Structure 1
Amino acid sequence: MAESSQQRIEQTQNNVRTLRQQLDKFIQATDQQQAALRRLHAAWQGRQPAHVQEKSLKEALAYSMALNALGQKIDQLLPQLEGSL
């Protein structure tokens, strides 16, 4: 019985650690996306050439997709964490 409890504790710790890592990545990607959106806004406001605007837009979209993927990973981790409590 003690071994089972120890395994559950270790699994919970691993799940929390993994979730924390994913949340840290999510926060970093959010910061990067905000910076990319500011650059995109500046490119549009500053009437930058189309290739500069397109590059800024692609960068912002890439961070949006990364955030979506990280959000999905977090959604998958939460039930595992809840199940180990």
Structure 2
Amino acid sequence: MPSLPRELGREIVEVAVRTNHPDAIVKLKLSLSSRVDKVFYESITIKSSPTNLKPAGFFATTVKSLSLPALDKRILAACAGAQTFAFVP
């Protein structure tokens, strides 16, 4: 049985994760099982104090859109590459 090239398989999963699927759990499982978790973390909303299990620098280059309940300099510094910011209740 022929298999897909690794790059094509990765692209298929990235497209599936990026789609506007309402089930975040499905998106997370897809991204983690296929090791494309950077796609899942491009846009994040933080509602409470986060615990970081990712290596140093992961969020700085991954997060593109960040939503926070209040100004938190520690999170802003960790997500230095974010391009859009929002404050959420």
Higher relative contact order, chain-length normalized (CA < 8 Å, sep 6+): 1
TM over 0.5: no
Structure number with the higher helix fraction is 1
Normalised by the length of structure 1, the TM-score is: 0.32
The structure having more radius of gyration, on CA atoms, is 1
Structure number with the higher strand fraction is 2
Normalised by the length of structure 2, the TM-score is: 0.31
